[in-house]
Amino acid sequence: MTDTPATAAETFPIERLREFSTRVFAACGVPEEDAALAAGVLASADLRGIDTHGVARLPQYHEMFEQGRINPRPNIHAVRESPATATVDGDNGLGLVVGPRANEMAMEKAERVGTGWVAVRNSNHFGAGEYYPLQGLPRGLIVWAMTNSPPQVAPLWGAEKMLGTNPISIAFPGMEEPAVVIDFTTSAIAFGKVEHAARKGATIPAGTAIDRDGRMTTDPREMLDGGALLPLGGDAEHGGHKGYCLAAMVDLLAAALPGANWGPFPPPFPAHLPEPPRSVGLGVGHMFGAFRIDAFADPAEFRRQVDDWVRTMRSTRPAAGTTGPIIPGDPNRRAEETRREHGVPVIRPVVEALERVAAATGVPFR
Amino acid sequence: MTDTPATAAETFPIERLREFSTRVFAACGVPEEDAALAAGVLASADLRGIDTHGVARLPQYHEMFEQGRINPRPNIHAVRESPATATVDGDNGLGLVVGPRANEMAMEKAERVGTGWVAVRNSNHFGAGEYYPLQGLPRGLIVWAMTNSPPQVAPLWGAEKMLGTNPISIAFPGMEEPAVVIDFTTSAIAFGKVEHAARKGATIPAGTAIDRDGRMTTDPREMLDGGALLPLGGDAEHGGHKGYCLAAMVDLLAAALPGANWGPFPPPFPAHLPEPPRSVGLGVGHMFGAFRIDAFADPAEFRRQVDDWVRTMRSTRPAAGTTGPIIPGDPNRRAEETRREHGVPVIRPVVEALERVAAATGVPFR
């Protein structure tokens, strides 16, 4: 998920970025505790090299608050609940608050009864997916997080955006080896890569996007001009039906089940995206699932197995011209090591956007 | 999943195939009730057009019994259990029996407490994945099934087989519309398609397989000669890391967690595949998860949302040169309609293999 900044960057200590975000959320009317929680989700992404989901998003959240599209003081509450399950209504609160609260419920349920599943409606963008499973690791929990999102992806053989990039995240703790941290969108390519290629006048890989008539294109501008991303796999002969199935699975579980807007209908984020043609539920949806490891296995033995799995995958004979497989989560862990020590590089356009947020809110950025 | 037979086929009523399988399993020492259960799993695949996972597999199961590799009378038992969770040891029984019994446990748990999760070790090939979620539909349950399998897939940047094709299956019931039935392997292409292309002297799509040095190849013989399938997505620029993450997720949840053999170590199926270099657990592993819909939503309202989802996806503007998106499960449902009425076509080589099983077991095939 790491994207090396293409332009000049200024470096900030993570605590500075976290504090700025906390104070901006507070200035938007978010209670202190929630503001700190939300800022922590952004800071986690910044630390771990997911530059698209960290402080760079703060201006978009700020804009959503400015337009009254997010409720700063939501009454987040369960509308159905049992010891192992719940459906939560986020009351149109910040996804960076609704997500962590619902995930906490799922984790507490798992701690009490072995597994906990919490479906969420009436939320919005919940930040980087890996944040949620990372919370489970120190508690001996395997946490699974899914969310739907505004439409960017065409179903196989479709010519328009009907599904979000609908990410899936899950993590498994090792004993001596670092955790396996899985976090991926179910589209063939990230929308950010298409935007990046368009800015640079570059092409995108064949089989990752279509134009407005549903024809494959390598021209990012054709995707942006009424086209769509393809689901993971691309076309039918490369398994595009599987990516479509994955996006559908997330959409039906994380949005249709709790009563959120599914398919092409989630509300826009950022605010300048087009309004959907109709509403079929409340906000966007998430699904959090947690497993207490000792409900299934001896935790120490399982962690040793994860260590063995990690070492086994690393010892795979490398493909010609590569240094061999990495482990899911490696790039983010390395980014975290570097950035804890040396700070977080923030590219110039993001610094400028944050300065505008500082001016608008009166929260000093420097 | 339907594969149109390339060679002449003979047509059999599904009940004839089911009865033959039942009697063959019984002849292998499987108790009556288990034999009928296992034959039902194969018959479901035959009916629904999944020709690779129906009666065509019977000779392989028979061979496994002949070689003493499967326990015909297993003591299938929970080694850990709570109201919503269990880990089950299949005692090296037939996967077609261990799978349905563990899935039944997950469904009963969901009926009692809202969700049920059952991880399984010491099993083997459990048949077509979609069988399991299909069992949940008439009971108002969303069922999720995963299994690992012997290695066929290279992790991204690897040059050898380290992961199974590790399928994921889940289904969502509609009200007036048919259910959305999702069932896919996490490799870029099915191994059967590589074998088929090799027999016909055809090529396979670029980006779906590698040769023994880890280089992309379109020659199916190079994949078969020490190469590997690629994970869904193919190479890094098309999202191959995501398919690797998916295969890893299934492997760690469905195999490492319950104590089955993960990664490259599951025992061979069919029996002629190479023996793994070491054992890290017991047999292959599965994971079954079930949700009672009314734990999360009003069931009638959810079914209406699924209907709306289905109609919305079908109404997607079609890509140029296509008739537009289909719904996951459509091809299998249509196959079932046809085959219930007209019987199941079985290609000549499979008929001959079944005749050999008939001769070996004394169970009449015709």
Determine whether the interchain pair B291/A258 forms a contact, defined as Cβ–Cβ distance below 8 Å.
no
Rounded to the nearest angstrom, the minimum Cα separation between A20 and chain B is: 33
Which of the 8 DSSP states describes residue A189? S
**Residues contacting residue B272 through CB under 8 Å, at least 6 positions apart:** none
Selected for mutation to probe chain A from B80, B180, B232, B282 (highest A CB count within 10 Å) is B232
The C-alpha atoms of residue B257 and residue B244 are separated, in whole angstroms, by 18
A299, two tokens:
């935790």
Residues of A numbered 142-181 whose beta carbons fall under 8 angstroms of chain B's beta carbons: which are they?
Answer: 142, 154-160, 162, 168, 170, 172, 180
Nearest CB to A117: which of B172, B248, B291?
A: B291
Q: Is the ipTM of this complex over 0.90?
A: yes
The two tokens of residue A4 are 């090396």
Q: Which of B115, B142, B293 shows the shortest C-beta gap to A84?
A: B115
Q: In the prediction, which pLDDT does A6 show?
A: 53
Q: Do B244 and A319 touch (CB under 8 A)?
A: no
Nearest CA to CA, how far is B235 from chain A (Å)? 10
Test the B interface: residue of A137, A142, A183, A245 with most B CBs within 10 Å: A245
B113 and A326 within 8 Å at the Cβ level: the answer is no
Q: How far is A271 from chain B (nearest CA, A)?
A: 24
Question: At A300, which amino acid appears?
Answer: A
Residue B270 is predicted with a pLDDT of 77
User: What is the model's pLDDT at position B7?
Assistant: 62
The verdict on B202 touching A (C-beta cutoff 8 Å) is no
| All residues at 6 or more sequence positions from A204 whose CB lies less than 8 Å from its CB, including other chains | A189, A193, A194, A197, A217, A218, A219, A220, A223
- Contact check, Cβ <8 Å, A186/B242: yes
A245 chain-B contacts, CB cut-off 8 A: 182-184, 328
- Ramachandran bin of B105, using left for φ above 0, alpha for ψ from -120 to 50, beta for the remaining angles: alpha
Nearest-10 Cα torsion for A338, A344, A349, A353: 160
pLDDT in tens, B328-357: 999 999 999 999 999 999 999 999 999 999
Backbone φ and ψ of A278, nearest 5°: -155, 170
- Asked if A58 and A340 touch (Cβ cutoff 8 Å), the reply is no
Crossing angle (nearest 10°) for helices A14-27 and A32-47? 140
Q: Which residues of B touch A326 (CB under 8 A)?
A: 156-157
- pLDDT by position in tens, chain A (length 366): 444 545 689 999 999 999 999 999 999 999 999 999 999 999 999 999 999 999 999 999 999 999 999 999 999 999 999 999 999 999 999 999 999 999 999 999 999 999 999 999 999 999 999 999 999 999 999 999 999 999 999 999 999 999 999 999 999 999 999 999 999 999 999 998 999 999 999 999 999 999 999 999 999 999 999 999 999 999 999 999 999 999 999 999 999 999 999 999 999 887 777 789 899 999 999 999 999 999 999 999 999 999 999 999 999 999 999 999 999 999 999 999 999 999 999 999 999 999 999 999 999 998
Distances (CA, A) of A285 to A130, B158, B291: 16, 36, 17
Please report the DSSP string for A111-151 in residue order: HHHSEEEEEEEEE-----TTHHHHHHGGGTEEEEEEE--S-
Selection from A128, A119, A145, A165 nearest residue A258 by Cα = A119
Tell me the nearest-neighbour CA distance from A357 into chain B, angstroms: 35
User: Which member of A142, A233, A323 has the closest CB to residue B233?
Assistant: A233
Burial class (CB in 10 A: 0-12, 13-18, 19+), B78: middle
- Block residue for tokens 């609260």: A101
Dmax (CA) for chain B in angstroms is: 56
With CB atoms and an 8 Å threshold, state whether B302 touches A243: no
The residues that bridge with B86 in the sheet, in sequence order, are B81, B118
Provide the pairing of β-strand A284-292 with A115-123: antiparallel
- Exposure class string for A46-82: b at 16+ Cβ within 10 A, else e: bbbbbbebbbbbbbbbbbbbeeeebbbebebeeebbb
For residue B174, pLDDT over 90 is answered with yes
pLDDT digits (tens, 9 = 90+) for B1-59: 444 445 689 999 999 999 999 999 999 999 999 999 999 999 999 999 999 999 999 99
Does residue B150 have a pLDDT over 90? yes
- Whole-angstrom Cα distance, residue A213 to residue B321? 10
Residue type, A264: P
Confirm whether pTM is higher than 0.95.
yes
Give the distance from residue A49's alpha carbon to the nearest chain B alpha carbon, in angstroms: 17
Residues of B in contact with A80 (CB under 8 A): 294-297
- Map out the domains of chain A with their CATH numbers: 9-188+230-298+343-361 (3.30.1370.60)
Instruction: Measure in Å the smallest separation between the Cα of B54 and chain A Cα atoms.
Output: 21
Q: Determine the pLDDT at residue A79.
A: 98
CB contact under 8 A, B213 and A302: no
